[in-house]
């Protein structure tokens, strides 16, 4: 890692930052995942930039608008700040290859499993992807991390997801606290 390159923590939104309740787009339905603030405070303390990368097919499907998403995102980021966490940027993909109107129905390099959102963050913020981490709750999250060259990819197990399977290239976890413990151990090793 060169001196100007930074490490980053990439987080999926639905299922990692908040509990996945299918197309969450209203504040009243948004429930932060247990341990998310502890994880982000620890990552910030250790010099990680934090990025949220999220597919938002609900926009393409017409379930909610980009404006709805942006309003919820501003509210979410305010809660992160109140909790002493700094998120560098939220990247989202409103496109879907099969659903949506002409504006949103298309293949996009930003829709996970494609690594577009990660690569855009890496370029803009000079991120060393090999020294970075990703936490997702779906195989598409892990594939995006691997496709981008992220060093450690964590797959958060969600017992409510019927189709979730463990990607052998991911580090399986049952809670965000396991990533906090990983960061604490990494910090001891570097000290």
**pLDDT digit of tens for each residue in the chain (191 aa)?**
445 789 999 999 999 999 999 899 999 999 999 999 999 999 999 999 999 999 999 999 999 999 999 999 999 999 999 999 999 999 999 999 998 888 999 999 999 999 999 999 999 999 999 999 999 999 999 999 999 999 999 999 976 665 655 667 899 999 999 999 999 988 777 75
Q: Rounded to the nearest 10 degrees, what angle do helices 177-190 and 36-45 cross at?
A: 20
Neighbours of 168 (CB within 10 A): 7
Rounded CA-CA distance 93/55 in Å is 5
The partner residues of 153 in beta bridges, in order of sequence, read 134
* Active site amino acids: 12, 14
Using alpha carbons, select from 126, 46, 130, 33 the residue that is nearest to residue 76. 33
- Identify the pLDDT of residue 75: 98
- Identify the pLDDT of residue 158: 77
Question: Residues with Cβ < 8 Å from 187, sequence gap 6 or more?
Answer: 46
- Identify the pLDDT of residue 100: 85
Q: Please, are residues 135 and 119 in contact by the beta-carbon 8 Å criterion?
A: no
- Identify the pLDDT of residue 191: 58
Please list the alpha-helical segments (H only) found in the chain: 36-45, 57-60, 66-82, 116-125, 139-148, 177-190
For residue 31, how many C-alpha atoms fall within 13 Å in the half-sphere facing its CB?
7
Unique residue bearing structure tokens 């987080």: 11
Unique residue bearing structure tokens 């969600």: 158
Rounded CA-CA distance 98/120 in Å is 24
The C-alpha angle with vertex 109 and arms to 107 and 111, in degrees rounded to 5, equals 75
Neighbours of 165 (CB within 10 A): 9
Rounded CA-CA distance 183/163 in Å is 29
Unique residue bearing structure tokens 């990680």: 48
Rounded CA-CA distance 140/57 in Å is 14
């Amino acid at each position: 890692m060169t001196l100007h390159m930074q490490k980053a923590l990439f987080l999926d939104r639905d299922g990692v930052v908040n509990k996945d309740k299918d197309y969450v787009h209203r504040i009243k339905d948004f429930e932060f995942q247990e341990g998310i603030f502890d994880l982000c405070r620890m990552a910030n303390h250790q010099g990680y930039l934090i990025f949220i990368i999220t597919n938002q097919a609900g926009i393409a499907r017409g379930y909610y608008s980009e404006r709805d998403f942006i309003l919820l995102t501003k509210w979410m980021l305010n809660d992160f700040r109140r909790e002493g966490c700094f998120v560098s940027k939220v990247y989202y993909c409103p496109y879907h290859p099969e659903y949506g109107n002409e504006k949103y129905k298309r293949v996009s390099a930003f829709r996970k499993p494609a690594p577009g959102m990660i690569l855009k963050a890496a370029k803009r913020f000079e991120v060393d992807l090999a020294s970075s981490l990703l936490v997702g709750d779906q195989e598409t999250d892990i594939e995006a991390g691997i496709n981008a060259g992220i060093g450690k990819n964590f797959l958060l197990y969600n017992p409510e997801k019927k189709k979730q399977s463990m990607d052998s290239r991911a580090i399986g976890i049952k809670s965000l606290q396991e990533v906090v413990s990983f960061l604490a151990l990494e910090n001891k090793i570097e000290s």
